[in-house]
Structure 1
């Protein structure tokens, strides 16, 4: 298979309401001088997500897993076929405003070979900042966020690095999985995500592993729009998944309580 400039991956599960806008936004805003392939990896959707994707023009490949083993497992399904310089992990609720955003990310990575993974500025649809850069989590940080966004507010603000202003390039301990750009050789060297995590904290885990062999950075000079839903706060099912992910994460990296 011929090497390409960019590979992009979206893992879908019953995303029929949002997938069309996301895929079109990506395909239309990849700069024309970059070769690309967009993988849509489906975790056994029961709706018409894939019917919608099939009607969209672009270099798109659908991977039907026929099973739902989570976010990391889905992304890892294409690990052996990625043959790109840079690999994008993209949520199904992301919008790219124009081709300059992707171009800025790639040009920065081209000039800074020590960077293995980049996280851009993530904005809400109203263009307010989503504070998704974090320090390495502790049990305390995780628990107070689950209880209330207003509990120990100063501590929570520190956890999401609000004091930085989100206006300068900086190293990251914990980047959001909603939009990540990897140097593909680093991503493959890490063997992608740890699929022991069904959902939640696999992004914290992979950021730590990037930093063991390279650097993860926040790059606010490019931005994406993210229609963010914190499902872990809305459902007992997702709360249970979050707790399980916490056990997996802290068993792996050590139990830091405060």
Structure 2
């Protein structure tokens, strides 16, 4: 692995901060500077011990921009994929003794005390392995990123079948549009745009599966965490997400998305997936009593 990730080889955590409570990682690939500056500003003013900036760009121009900040650990790497990039940081974070680690998209930003709020939530809920805050569009409207574990129909019909009424009907259940997003709830699939995870759980489940170059790696990891701990949506704090939907605009990213979806179902099962059925049913049953006559 080390021969594929540039100057990561031989790196050890800076200052060896044992018992570091929270670390975070951002994977950049020719990211817009204003987006990166904004998420770094949010992370730097938060109670995060170390921010790992993994740069997959074809040059390391970012190195000079962050070199003077001791809180940022910059690593220029060959592009080994989104999950692979975060795995570089996760290995360092675990080695440094971090208790929690936040995976951040570059297009995320926040204004309130999100990290402190999520840390407090995890401290009060030791059975939780992953928590996601409320995710909003820049205009403040909510992004419904809580989902059930998908069937092939969920992921393929919503992208390629031109029947809007069918897509709406499928998405209503799959995206949990029936759920009350003002409530904390255990959800089997949470978005990878902001993942706040317990490191000792990650040591049990393993990190991101690097066979997924991009897309579905968050779904796969969330599912594995859910096998040993709770995966929770917590609306007590919120972040903004620009939500570019790159695979809807870029043919290369679309091919990457399709390949990852195929890899996911090859791994977990296409139409025969008893765990999917069990966990989805349990999620719906648990939440249903709070919103009667809506399903």
Residues 1:120 and 2:133 aligned together: yes
**Counterpart residue number, 1:12:** 28
Q: In 2, Cα distance between the equivalents of 1:46 and 1:187? A: 31
Structure 1 residue 74, shift from structure 2 partner: 0.5
Structure 1 residue 3, shift from structure 2 partner: 2.0
- Segments of 5+ residues of structure 1 without an aligned counterpart are none
Structure 1 residue 47, shift from structure 2 partner: 7.6
**Contact 1:20 1:52 survives alignment (8 Å):** no
Structure 1 residue 190, shift from structure 2 partner: 2.0
TM-score (norm 1): 0.91
Deviations 1:79-134, CA, capped at 9 Å, x for gaps: 332121110000011102122x2221111110110001101110111111111111
**Counterpart residue number, 1:61:** 73
The structure with more radius of gyration: 2
**Contact 2:90 2:101 survives alignment (8 Å):** no
**Contact 2:81 2:210 survives alignment (8 Å):** yes
Q: In 1, Cα distance between the equivalents of 2:227 and 2:260? A: 21
Structure 1 residue 44, shift from structure 2 partner: 3.0
CA 1:239–1:149 in structure 2 vs 1: closer, same or farther (change >3 Å)? Answer: farther
SS at match of 1:88: strand
CA 1:228–1:50 in structure 2 vs 1: closer, same or farther (change >3 Å)? Answer: farther
**Contact 1:15 1:49 survives alignment (8 Å):** no
Q: In 1, Cα distance between the equivalents of 2:150 and 2:60? A: 35
**Counterpart residue number, 2:39:** 22
Structure 1 residue 146, shift from structure 2 partner: 1.6
Comparing both structures, which one devotes a greater share of its residues to helix?
Answer: 2
**Counterpart residue number, 1:44:** 57
Deviations 1:160-207, CA, capped at 9 Å, x for gaps: 111113111111111100000001111232221001001111111011
Q: Which has the higher contact order (CA 8 A, sep 6+)?
A: 1
**Contact 1:79 1:188 survives alignment (8 Å):** no
Q: In 2, Cα distance between the equivalents of 1:162 and 1:199? A: 26
TM-score (norm 2): 0.80
Residues 1:96 and 2:110 aligned together: yes
- Segments of 5+ residues of structure 2 without an aligned counterpart are 1-15, 278-295
CA 1:149–1:123 in structure 2 vs 1: closer, same or farther (change >3 Å)? Answer: farther
**Counterpart residue number, 2:256:** 241
